[in-house]
Structure 1
Amino acid sequence: MDNINNNKQQPQQKKQKWFFSLVFSLLLSTILIIISVSMSSTSTKFYNRAYVQTPRPRFVEQQLQVVSTSSEKIPRLAYLISGSTGDGESLKRTLKALYHPRNQYAVHLDLEAPVEERLELARGPTMVTNTLHAAAILFKEGGDWDWFINLSASDYPLVTQDDLLHVLSTIPRNLNFIEHTSDIGWKEYQRAKPVIIDPGLYTVQKSDVFWVPEKRNVPTAYKLFTGSAWMMLSRPFIEFCLWGWDNLPRIVLMYYANFLSSPEGYFHTVICNAEEFRNTTVNHDLHFISWDNPPKQHPHFLNVDDYQRMVDSNAPFARKFGRNEPVLDKIDSELLGRIADGFVPGGWFNNKRNSNLTAPNHAVANTSELKPGAGAERIKRLITGLISAEDFHAKHCI
């Protein structure tokens, strides 16, 4: 009998449990719906208020704007000078020829250079990443400057810094002197499509790059440009390359990480695909360079026979010079007024001191006083001719 009663009670208990579960679920669902509707109403009111106050969403990128150029009458320059093993003395000579207390300098010697050479010079980073890293250091440590110039130990100035600063004080500071062209020719098949791995990115010693058998397509999202690896870039453009607030510099940098001779294309491609900078280009690298005919990968070394052509070019820099090349002494004496192991004299010098000093800051009189000479006239002819040419605007990024 007990078994019969138990059997009757079990279905009833199951029905009760099912009923209570259903009621609990309905109550819980009702509560959740009420809460969600209430929150939706509140959030909608908040959204409406926010929409009226700020009709467009605000992103971090909108706060990153192109910096304005300096308002100082005389500009300031930031130099990166790079070298390798055995270049210590050449770098010191170039530094002394370029020194001016208004400027900032980052000097790089790669890890193959002897410790003694690296200890005598402040180190920076290499290649395109070296240039960007050095620019970032100069932003952080170098204060305000207006143009960034990259040189090597085999470069040398043909004018004084007073000459150069005097002429640059008369032109817009958003101009970028970068030799460029979209006609990449043979480079499309020999440099753009091949993929390489550069051991220099992760090993201490230099070695040849590794070539990947597969080829890649030329990018379609942006147009490739090529040109000289030597340039004078404006501060706003350098900051754009470092911040990359529209992703273009980072995307292009990833592409050129597997590109042979990337310094001959990275900055050119970025500037000519950036709407805010493509019309700021001046198609010249401010260098005198003598190429073999037909051109080889590297220009030939300059000597005394090239001296007059260097002067006639009106360029402020020349390359490529061998170590202790005699023509450098001729440039020092006839163009720069520099004595052996000294600094190039200028308006910043205390007249009571001579230029052959190991600590030039002790002789600083007035960094805003310039004494331009014949070199200023040569640079003026070059730059005036470039930016006043009838086809100047037509030559932007073609």
Structure 2
Amino acid sequence: METVAGNFTKLQQQLQKKQKWFLLLISSLLISTILILLTVTFSSGWNNSASTTQLLFRRRQQQQGQSSPRFAESKLAKTETFAGKLPRLAYLISGSAGDGVNLKRALKALYHPRNQYVVHLDLEAPVEERLELIRWVNEGEKVFQEVGNVRAVVRSNLVTYRGPTMVSNTLHAAAILLRDGGEWDWFINLSASDYPLVTQDDLLHTLSSIPRDLNFIEHTSDIGWKEDQRARPVIIDPGLYSLQKSDVFWATEKRSVPTAYRLFTGQYGCKTLAV
């Protein structure tokens, strides 16, 4: 009797499990059917609405005699920036001792009558080399004299790589170009060892469609590792007080990061135009 009762109990449990699975299956089928019906109904309504909208839009176009939609951009007046006017570039080409020949080569390759140029050989270059460059700019090339867009820095600066004298030399050239070079749009700083990868005609044509207030300087206030390697070290530039060129040297002490203003760092993309 106990065996029969146990078998009966197991049978009841199995039937209950089957009933649960059957109910779950029926519920899933009902939910799936409802979702399919809703999807079909929504799609039909959307297609009908879209067709009605397109039909009304076409009728309105036919009534107004239009063959294509009108956009607000077509009503905007084009600025001078996008009117196809060629820009003007201002170049600084600088070098040191023994760079006179390469500097001339770079200037000839970069020359264009629309642009403005300043060339500079620093104090490390012999006096004869600097004077020869000045004579070549002022007397050697007739096109420079006729157009008048090339200037040589007569009072040369002593420039130390990675030092503040490099920045001051760049600002000196920019000041000359702003004073004597008329109106120009972008300033490009190159060295005598650079050489253009594209012609000036192609470069000016490419830049003609770019807004004049756009620059190519990638800068950020997230300086990361440069805070400890660039911002805090104290460096001394011998070019500020000596006539003998030498590398900058680093002080053993480090300064604290300023709190009155935020430091930015970055790089400019003009070097992509030359090698």
TM value normalised by structure 1: 0.40
Q: CA deviation at 1:140?
A: 0.8
Alpha-carbon distance change, 97 to 196 in structure 1, aligned in 2, over 3 angstroms: same
Secondary structure at the residue paired with 1:157? coil
Matched, 1:82 2:94: yes
Secondary structure at the residue paired with 1:90? helix
The root-mean-square deviation of aligned C-alpha atoms, in Å, is 2.4
Alpha-carbon distance change, 134 to 286 in structure 1, aligned in 2, over 3 angstroms: closer
Q: CA deviation at 1:128?
A: 0.8
Q: CA deviation at 1:76?
A: 0.7
Alpha-carbon distance change, 72 to 134 in structure 1, aligned in 2, over 3 angstroms: farther
Which of 131, 151, 155 is residue 194 of structure 2 equivalent to? Answer: 155
Q: Which runs of 5+ in 2 are unaligned?
A: 1-79, 135-151, 160-165
In proportion to residue count, which structure has more helix? 2
**Residues 83-134 of structure 1: CA distance to partner in whole angstroms, max 9, x if unpaired?**
1111111110000000001111011111011222211142265511111111
Q: Distance in 1 between matches of 2:228 and 2:219?
A: 18
Q: CA deviation at 1:214?
A: 2.7
Alpha-carbon distance change, 197 to 159 in structure 1, aligned in 2, over 3 angstroms: same
Alpha-carbon distance change, 72 to 129 in structure 1, aligned in 2, over 3 angstroms: farther
Per mean C-alpha deviation after superposition, the further-off stretch among 190-199 and 124-133 is 124-133
Alignment of 1:93-172 (within 5 A): 93-119=105-131, 120-121=133-134, 122-123=152-153, 125=157, 126=159, 127-172=166-211
Larger Rg: 2
Identity between Structure 1 and Structure 2 (%): 76
Q: Which runs of 5+ in 1 are unaligned?
A: 1-67, 232-284, 289-315, 319-398
Secondary structure at the residue paired with 2:195? strand
Q: Give the aligned residue type for 1:107.
A: V
Matched, 1:209 2:248: yes
Q: Distance in 2 between matches of 1:106 and 1:192?
A: 31
Q: Is the 8 A contact 2:92 2:188 kept in 1?
A: yes
Q: Is the 8 A contact 2:233 2:255 kept in 1?
A: yes
Secondary structure at the residue paired with 1:176? coil
**Residues 330-371 of structure 1: CA distance to partner in whole angstroms, max 9, x if unpaired?**
xxxxxxxxxxxxxxxxxxxxxxxxxxxxxxxxxxxxxxxxxx
Q: Distance in 1 between matches of 2:188 and 2:181?
A: 14
Secondary structure at the residue paired with 1:179? strand
Q: CA deviation at 1:146?
A: 1.0
